[in-house]
Every structure is written in structure tokens, then in C-alpha cells.
Structure 1
């Protein structure tokens, strides 16, 4: 199985105006493409890019109830799936086009058809196309998508959930979430008194220190920050701490360093790490079995 230097998540809130339907941030798209170009030039070209949908797809998915689906396979559900996919693939095309314009050999890969769920739990992951693309020298660019679900006809497959699977399959050196804010705050960042959390210790049971309060926009069908944080926790625990997770701002000077070295200084972002105990130290020494 091909390994990856970095799995990079471009947040939907960073790439789009999330409160305005299908509204991309052109500057952020260019920043993301420039960053990946620099990673390739620095020898970290074996990376996988996954981006959120932001204001693309969420509104259509919410209107047609795609997240909860329906065993009756209604006309409205099918129409909603089609409209949502048209929207999310628009953004994927924009992201991929910017990367190619920057000289990055990027190929867009949509999960629909290759990934499946049952009751919103992944039963089939389309890894082959990603692996083949990496081995051929391309940068796979995936996105949150609708997928077929054996119990409720369809479901929403979040980019964050995709990243958790990719981390298990490709054992990247690091996973970096690039967002519209500096990192994880102890409460929603627009709340008075919100403070950036430089590091989060993840215990073996998945609990974290310090605790974090999260929130999501009403039309966000993928779980917002709560899912992103849980994804990060899962990656750290399932890899027994061998895969660090970093969260920082896309349009910042620290993003490149975070992706290349896994380093974040005080005030630059948030890093999740596994709290070491005698048991976890023993497991890490023997290698990650995942």
C-alpha cells in the first residue's frame, strides 16, 4: 500500500463563504493551490487533499433531508442527491482546476459510487483509485459527497470521515486541517473571551484535555467542528499516537511549516497528541497495527 507524506484537509469554511450559497473564496483557493505546489517542490508530493463542501451542497442536502435519508427512496430524495452532487462537484472542479493551474498534477476523485454506507456507517471505501493515483504520481483531490446507503438509500459522507479512513489506509506522517481560523478554541471563536488552545492531550479512551465547546451552522449537515474534532481524536487514538493531527489557518505563514514538519509554535494553531502512559508507550514501541 502506498504511503502518504501528508493528508491535507481544506476546510469548507476556509474555501467558501459558508453562509452564502455556492460562494467560493477565490483568494483562499489560490492560497491552497500555492501551498500544495510548495509541498510538491519541497519533496512532500505524496499528499492527499480532501476538501469540505462549505456553501456547496449543504443547502440542497438540508432541503431534501439527505443526511437522514429514507428507506422509501422518494423522488424528492433522488432529486436532492442529484442537486447536491452537482453542487459539491462544482467546488471540487474549482479546487482541482486551481491546483492544475499552479502546476500541481491534481486529479479530482468523487466518492459517489466507490464508497457506500449502511445506516451512515462506511461499508465500502473506494481506496483503489486513490492508491493508483498516488503511485502514478498524481495528487488525489477528494471531497465530501452523497453516497448510496443500503438502509436509507443515501447518506452524507463527510470529508472528515473520509480523512479518518485515509489515515488508516495510507499511514501519513501527519494530518493537517486548514481552516478559516487559527485552530481550536476553548469555545466558539466568535464568543467573547474565546482562547486558542495550543495543544490537546488525547487519552487512550478518547477523552481530551482541555475540554472544548463546539457549535455548527444550522444548514451544516456534516456535524461542523464537533465532527472534525472527533475525527482528529480518532486518528490520534487509532494510530496509537503515531499520526499527529494539526489544525491551523489556511491563509497563514505557518501552514506550509505545519504540513512539511508537523511543527506549530505557541499561538500558531492546535496540535493533538496522545497522552503517554506506560501502556501506550509499549504499544507505540511495537508499531501501529492499524
Structure 2
């Protein structure tokens, strides 16, 4: 029987300020996440993880400047990729400092989209790394697109895709907060029955975000729930919430079928 596999998305707004190019990196938050994950991994050595982080200000700013969601731009795709690899290196180094065995996977190297949706993906290297106890670390990225040359592939699309491929039905989305209603109260459950009512509360990001902010995130998760029975949890990245998620408890906002 396969050992448990967790897929966790670390939001760009959790990692960085989403204003200004290469906005401040929240190193304290990153280090806390890495410490909690390392502690859990030490007590559950056979459990496997795939991490996918967002772009924050690093990727979204050049993506917006060069309209990379809609078109190919030679300089734009280069600047965006360099920015994303810079942020990925910060995350990788923080994880490695906590004695976690990690390896970067840049989606531009193995994913192709068609009309901004994943159409081709070669996962064998990632699978083999995972089988060796390595934690693959992916990120939102600029990738090649068969229709428009390139596009921005959101981490919010990557995570449900991986969940389906690896048959993992429980995924975590670390955000700045859970999902709130108009009274600023946490919405504990979003499912197919109440999604159309709740989506009016879902806004865009406070900063530059070409992938749709919370509204785009929940749309992806509802589709994953409908297509693959994926159960997702959107929660803030504090130690208590992360520990509850890893321990199999409900936390933050649950998105399911």
C-alpha cells in the first residue's frame, strides 16, 4: 500500500508582499512553515510530500507588465522565469536548512498548455524523485502554450492536476487567510451545492495577480472536487492550522464535492 502523499500549495501572498517587483519576502513565515513540516516529517518519515508555491510579487509583476497571460513576449518570458527561479531558490534553501530533502522542478521544463490549460506533462522524473524520498518543489510558472506561444500557469491549476495524476484526494492551500464571507467570518465549507451563492464573496488579490486571486483558486478547487472528488483545505499558514491539516483534521475552509 502506498504511503500517504500530501500536496501542499504555498500561496504567493503568504511568501511575499504582492506589491512592487520582487516585493519583500516573508522569511519568518517561510521558516515557520519549513520548521513545522520538518518536525512532522521526522515523526512520519514514510509520508511523502509535493510542494507547489505561488509567484507572489516575483512572477506576477513581469507577467502583468508583458501581458504574458495573453501572449508570448521574448523578454517577458525570460524575466518572469528568472524571477520565479529566484523565489524558488529562496524556498528551496529554507527547506534544506531544516534538513528536508528537496529538489526543484520548474514547470516550464515539463508542462505544455493549450488555451492556458495543461495539455502535456511528463512526470516520470518527479515520480522517481518522490520514490527516493525527495520532496519535489514546483511553482507557478510561465510555460509554452500551443495556441498563443506562452501563458502563465498558476500553481492553483498545477495542484489539482497533480492530485488527479497521483490519486491524492486531500490537498492543502496555504493562503493569507481562509475564505471569508461579507461579515468577515470564515466560510467553513464550499461545495457544489453552495458555490454559486458563495462565489460573490470571492475577490481578487490585494496586489498584482494575473491568475485570479481567491476567486480563481476556488474555481479550480470546485472543478477538482467535481471531476476527481478532491478535498481541499484553504487555511492560513500559522503553526496550529498547518499542524491540524497534516494530522488529518479539517481546517480553514473545506472545498469538496
**CA-to-aligned-CA distance 1:60-95 (integer Å, 9 cap, x gap):** 11111110015xxxxxx1100000001011111110
Is 2:224 the counterpart of 1:235? yes
In 1, Cα distance between equivalents of 2:4 and 2:213 = 26
Task: Name the structure where helix makes up a greater proportion of residues.
Answer: 2
Of 241, 250, 253, 1:254 maps to 241
Contact kept in structure 2, 1:119 and 1:150, CA below 8 Å: yes
Q: Secondary structure, in 3 states, of the residue corresponding to 2:201?
A: coil
8 Å Cα contact 1:3/1:171 also seen in 2 = no
The C-alpha deviation readout for 1:153-202, integer Å capped at 9, x for no partner, is: 11101001100110101122510111111x11124xxxxx3221112232
Describe the SS at the equivalent of 2:95.
helix
User: 1:176 and 1:208, CA in 2 relative to 1: closer, same or farther beyond 3 A?
Assistant: farther
Cross-structure match for 2:54? 52
RMSD value, Cα: 2.0
Q: Which has the larger radius of gyration?
A: 1
Question: For residues 41 and 202 of structure 1, do their structure 2 counterparts lie closer, same or farther at Cα, with a shift above 3 Å needed?
Answer: farther
Query: Match of 1:7, SS?
Result: strand
Q: With structure 2 as the length reference, what TM-score do the two structures score? A: 0.92
Unpaired runs of 5+ in structure 1? 71-76, 188-192, 275-290
Secondary structure of 1:55's counterpart equals helix
State the match for 2:181 in structure 1: 186
> Which segment drifts farther, 32-41 or 54-63?
32-41
8 Å contact kept, 2:18–2:208: no
Q: Is the 8 A contact 1:174 1:259 kept in 2?
A: no
What is the CA-CA distance between 1:238 and the residue it aligns to? Answer: 1.7
Alpha carbons 1:111, 1:126 under 8 Å: kept:
no
When normalised by structure 1's length, the TM-score is 0.82
How far apart are residue 3 of structure 1 and its match?
6.9
TM-fit CA distance, 1:255:
1.2
- Give the length in aligned residue pairs: 254
Report if aligned partners of 1:201, 1:210 keep a CA contact under 8 Å in 2: no
CA offset at residue 219 of structure 1?
Answer: 2.6
What residue is the counterpart of 1:61 in the other structure?
Answer: 63
Deviation at 1:251, TM superposition (A): 2.1
**Farther off after superposition, 79-88 or 231-240:** 231-240
Moved over 6 A (4+): none
Q: Partners in 1 of 2:47 and 2:234 — Cα distance?
A: 20
Q: How does 1:78-227 map to 2 (within 5 A)?
A: 78-181=74-177, 183-187=178-182, 193-203=183-193, 207-208=195-196, 210-217=198-205, 219-227=208-216
